Amino acid sequence: SNRIETLEFQAEARQLLQLMVHSIYSNKDVFLRELISNASDALDKLRLESLVDKDLAADVSDLHIEIEVDRDARTLTVRDNGIGMSREDVVRLIGTIAKSGTAELLAKLRESKDSAASADLIGQFGVGFYATFMVADRVTLLTRRAGESEGTRWESTGEGTYSVETVDDAPQGTAVTVHLKPEDSDDHLYDYTAEWKIREIVKRYSDFIAWPIRMTVERKGEGDETTREAQTLNSMKALWARPRSEVDEAEYKEFYKHVSHDWADPLETIHMRGEGTFEYEALLFLPSHAPVDLFAPQARRGVQLYVKRVFIMDDCEALMPNYLRFVKGVVDAHDLSLNISREILQQDRQIQAVRRRLVKKILATVKELKANEAEKYRTFWSEFGPALKEGLLDDPDNTDAILDVVSVASTHDPAELTGLRDYVERMKDGQSDIYYMTGESRSMIENSPHMEAFRAKGYEVLILTDPVDEVWVERVGQFDGKPLRSIAKGQVDLDTEEEKKEAESAREQQRQEYADLLTWMSEKLADSVKEVRLSTRLTTSPACVVGDAHDITPTLEKMYRAMGH
């Protein structure tokens, strides 16, 4: 059926397109980077599929990307002979935005009146294919999925609807044609049909792409004849395989944007190589901001696996523990089969060894940031600290390395977080425990009656407000041989020997004085509490409820109750 359908973009997609049509983002050149990046992904996917499925009816002999311009029609086409899309794929992948967090992003954009801030948000989100509508008033996409016979033609002006049509004569792969906006035609800087402009953009953003990016260029020969020849615009050097000294910062940044689909620069780059029995190269990045789905149950890991320059899989969980799921990049392992499955990878001893080395290197890098680059570390910790702390539950081998980079709020300084080592250095003479309290917010904890005696005696208390804190302090139990002790549990003894003696006699007196009252209260409250006793820990509040040392804390109790226990 060659039916033409006109369909509506999903509501979120429509809103994002509106922003693109009105060019909220000022760097329009990146539309070409996005198209090339998609073409490169499509070629990776086809090569992999052809390795796995020997019967796939697809030509993989000359996989490449082609850029074609028509100066008269003012169009630019990016064509690949990669995996392509079926009609259903086109509707699902191009007509909707599957990225989680889209709704939140749009809500933030609506709130923000400042267009620079909006552009920044968009930049962090990344809009991929839709970036074409910054420069185009119409975009056409012609595609055919490898192994299928019918192709699909898609077209839209970016204004709410698009058309899809089944066609007979589409070549395998995808061609995206951008009909350039007439208003940019006079502006030399935005002339995307000019050879120099395209060369410049490819060089800047896509030089490392592993597939040839070709363009036919015209050259005036002697006399009047023009010759036409296809040129490859990119160097195609796998960045991770080059020595660090030969890669410049800008190249790392662009590579990061390609693998991460992020528009913002990375916070830190880690380039390493393993030699010996199992050779590999790794190029990893710490992003500068957390993805919106960092804590979603399906959050994906960001490390791609290559085998000798051949892309094998995205999201390689065998290479990165869950608590480091925000790390992006590439690992190229030399001695693996191209057909390796996820299940086999998980059990591969050498992959496990690589993973251990990557984890150590990442934690060492964070430690270095903490020691030498306070600003970067602060950004890292506020974006990824809560995820990293999950490692204190999941990765016992690296507990010490993780504790070394943990920062927590503390009563010591309302404005700054503190490291555990710093806390220990400030401990008072005779103090043997590290005191902490967990709760929903700093102010709740600071105003808690449990805090009073500690404040009065000048003891520092760590203020733990992330849900995971509750669990890791229990699990880890101590730091540097000093027990981690909740001030909300059990009896906490803050007095010196002398003070104790004095206090004991005073208390004995009080006990007699209040005996009747306590008995009366115990009886009245028998259904709700185990015991009513005089407290030594309150200074201004009249009463507080405490758990036994082995009871769960109120926050945990709430958590369990919310989970239906």
Q: For residues 259 and 403, which CB has a smaller minimum distance to Mg ion in the complex?
A: 259
Could you say which of ligand ADP, Mg ion, none residue 174 binds, taking C-beta under 5 to 8 angstroms by partner kind?
ligand ADP
From the CB of 255, what's the least distance to ligand ADP, in Å?
Answer: 15
DSSP 96: S
Nearest to 268 by CA among 360, 125, 366: 366
Determine if 260 is a binding residue for ligand ADP (CB under 6 A).
Answer: no
Residue with tokens 């400042």: 114
Q: Where are the alpha helices (DSSP H) in 82-191?
A: 87-95, 102-111, 115-125
Is residue 307 within 8 Å of residue 350, measured between CB atoms? no
Quick one: 413 exposed, middle or buried, by C-beta within 10 A (0-12, 13-18, 19+)?
Answer: exposed
Q: Please check if 129 is assigned to a binding site.
A: yes
| Run of H or E residues at 358 | helix 349-372
Segment near ligand ADP (CB under 6 A), from 82-90, 224-232, 236-244, 332-340?
A: 82-90
Can residue 129 be called a binding residue for ligand ADP (CB under 6 A)? yes
Check if the beta carbon of residue 383 is closer than 8 Å to that of residue 290.
yes
Q: Which stretch binds ligand ADP (CB under 6 A): 38-46, 244-252, 475-483, 554-562?
A: 38-46
Residue 82 binding ligand ADP, by CB under 6 A: yes
Dihedral sign, Cα of residue 46, residue 47, residue 51, residue 57: positive
Q: In the range 306-335, which residues lie near Mg ion by CB under 5 A?
A: none
Nearest to 74 by CA among 152, 205, 158, 190: 190
Tally of CB atoms within 10 A around 387? 19
Report the SS3 class of residue 415: strand
Nearer to ligand ADP, 174 or 304 (CB): 174
Give the residue with the Cβ less far from Mg ion, 98 or 344. 98
Q: How far is CA 63 from the centre of its chain?
A: 31
- Contacting range for Mg ion; rule: CB under 5 A; set: 36-44, 245-253, 424-432, 480-488: 36-44
Rounded Cα–Cα distance for residues 283 and 65 (Å): 24
Q: Closest by alpha carbon to 176, among 154, 202, 149, 197? A: 154
Q: Name residues whose C-beta falls within 8 Å of residue 542's C-beta, 6 or more positions apart in sequence.
A: none
| Range 507-513 contact pairs with CB under 8 angstroms and sequence separation of 24 or more | 507/534, 507/536, 510/534
Query: Is residue 83 a contact residue for ligand ADP (CB under 6 A)?
Result: yes
- Of how many residues is the chain composed? 565
Given candidates 24, 36, 42, 201, which one binds ligand ADP under the rule CB under 6 A? 42
* Binder among 34, 281, 390, 395 for ligand ADP (CB under 6 A): 34
Could you tell me the two tokens for 433?
């425990």
Confirm or deny that 127 is annotated as ligand binding. yes
Residue type, 556: L
Nearer to ligand ADP, 129 or 423 (CB): 129
Is 221 annotated to bind a ligand? Reply is: no
Among 31, 33, 38, 78, which residue sits at the site for Mg ion (rule: CB under 5 A)? 38
Strands (DSSP E) along 474-550, which ranges?
478-479, 482-486
What is the smallest separation between the CB atom of 377 and ligand ADP, expressed in angstroms? 29
126 labelled ligand-binding: yes
Gyration radius of the chain's alpha carbons: 31
The one among 128, 151, 291, 449 contacting Mg ion by CB under 5 A = 128
Answer for the pair 57, 203: CB distance below 8 angstroms, yes or no.
no
Q: Does residue number 38 form part of the binding site for ligand ADP (CB under 6 A)?
A: yes
x/- mask, ligand ADP, residues 89-118, rule CB under 6 A, reads ----xx------------------------
CB atoms within 10 A of CB 32: 25
For ligand ADP, the closer CB: 139 or 358: 139
Residues within window 440-469 making contact with ligand ADP, judged by CB under 6 A: none
Q: Which stretch binds ligand ADP (CB under 6 A): 79-87, 156-164, 186-194, 525-533?
A: 79-87
Give yes or no for residue 321 binding ligand ADP (CB under 6 A): no
Q: Does 156 bind ligand ADP (CB under 6 A)?
A: no
125 is in an annotated binding site: yes
Tell me how many helices (H) and strands (E) the chain has.
18, 20
Q: Which is nearer to Mg ion, 259 or 387 (CB)?
A: 259
Cβ of residue 434: shortest distance to ligand ADP, in angstroms?
44
Is residue 174 part of the contact set for ligand ADP (CB under 6 A)? yes
Give, in order, the Cα–Cα distances in Å from 414 to each of 352, 411, 418: 42, 6, 10
439 marked as binding residue: no
Q: Which does 387 bind (CB under 5 to 8 A by kind): ligand ADP, Mg ion, none?
A: none
- Find which of ligand ADP, Mg ion, none residue 158 binds, CB within 5 to 8 Å per kind: none
Phi-psi region of 10 (alpha: psi -120 to 50; beta: other; left: phi over 0): beta
302 binds Mg ion (CB under 5 A): no
Minimum distance of Mg ion from residue 384's CB (angstroms): 24
Q: Kindly tell me which of 84 and 287 has the beta carbon lying closer to ligand ADP.
A: 84
Q: Which residues have C-beta within 8 Å of that of residue 486, sequence separation ≥ 6?
A: 435, 436, 437, 438, 473, 553
Among 29, 44, 66, 80, binds ligand ADP (CB under 6 A): 80
Among 128, 287, 329, 386, binds ligand ADP (CB under 6 A): 128
Among 20, 85, 135, 259, binds ligand ADP (CB under 6 A): 85
Any contact of residue 9 with ligand ADP (CB under 6 A)? no
Contact between residue 370 and residue 405 where contact means Cβ atoms under 8 Å apart: yes
Q: Are 47 and 311 in contact (CB under 8 A)?
A: yes
- Is 13 an interacting residue with respect to ligand ADP (CB under 6 A)? no
Residue 128: CB minimum distance to ligand ADP, A: 2
Q: Give residues in contact with Mg ion (CB under 5 A).
A: 37-38, 128
Binding residues: 34, 38, 80, 85, 99-101, 124-129, 174, 342
Rule CB under 6 A: which residues touch ligand ADP? Answer: 34, 38-39, 42, 80, 82-85, 93-94, 128-129, 174, 261
